[in-house]
Structure 1
Amino acid sequence: MATAQLTISSKTYSAWSLRGWLMCRLAGLEIRELPAPNNASTRAELLLLSPSVLVPRLTHGEVSVWDTLAIAEYLNETFPEAHMLPTDKAARALCRAISGEIHSGFSNLRSALPMNLKVRHKTFPVFPGARPDIERIEAIWEDCLARYGGPFLFGAEPTIADAMYAPVTRRFITYAVGLRPACQAYCDTIDQWPPMQEWLAAAREEPEELEELEVEF
């Protein structure tokens, strides 16, 4: 199999990089990580790597794909034995739907609770405009956990949806967002997921002076 490369930004700040990296872990794909330029002077270089100026970007043989959901679908097609999507047709549709929802929505949540894996607040005043986003995410999680029995959103094993919502769980943990019990338990599940633990450990080792790449819109 061809050597794969994943271009990522800061492990401390970039939720999209985390999502793409977790997709590769779900697929069982060995990757070489390439750091993206993280300042304005090298932004043109990143533009050459990723036409949308977004990370992550997966290069696998002659294939180059940079949208997170496109990476997920490519990996699912390439490694069907990894079962990145649920086997049941209705569950697959729901998995794709809620993954698309986090991919394109919840802008108030992103702005109010930016990802930062090096801090953890005991209390934090959450912008009221973000409350509907939080409530919607709780509703999604509670529905999936009730339907499929947990501990992941679609049952005993993680799927694409868990990779997509993993950064949200860290936002809630970082900013001490009060959640209903099932949702708090889900955050704990993702927090203890071995790939997540690996990413968190790497983020703790990241240089403090690393600038955040502005890719979270």
Structure 2
Amino acid sequence: MVTRPGLYRLLGETLNEVTTDGRRSKGERRRRALIEATLRVIERDGASGVTHRAVAREAGLPTTAATYYFDGVDGLLTAALTTCMDDDAEKMRQLTVAADDSDSLHALARLMAEIVATPGRLLAEFELCLLASRRPDLRGPTDRWKGALADFARRYTADPVRIQLFTNAYDGLLLHALLADQPPTVDEFEAMLRELLPDAR
């Protein structure tokens, strides 16, 4: 039998857990909102436009929120890069485990066409990757992304040169699509992917 003091203690512990979880959830939502705002600022103004004030204003939050969750502009840029690369790697992993090889290649081509149709986030990602090229300490997320690309290629080939070719060419295809007056269609992307992975059926 639970005594009244014991019941009060249990209720207090439950309320504390709910309060803590609520605060944690709110904090995670705010942090994600600030990261997404950072990407929009980079898309619009480039990486040089990222400040705590600019990001907080873009997110509709007070400047103190940005300074609370991120130490300096470098923290914002690192979080944005990590989020982009990990999100992209997860999408690639989902394609890698698709049931049908032929369908997964077509699905990747369709994804590429969707990316270049609304290229804002892609522009931000390339800016962040250039930052990582000058900062070896930021290459963990880009290495995970390249690893996801390599895993996709291994579905079709065991040739290490072919895998490296696909891994290096994928981002290049997207970059050149940004520079084209008319970006490639799904069918055009798929044709290029099949040239990179000729063993795919």
Bigger share in helix: 2
Same fold by TM (over 0.5)?
no
The alignment's TM-score, normalised by the length of structure 2, stands at 0.29
* Larger of the two Rg values belongs to structure: 2
Larger RCO, structure (CA 8 Å, separation 6 or more)? 1
Bigger share in strand: 1
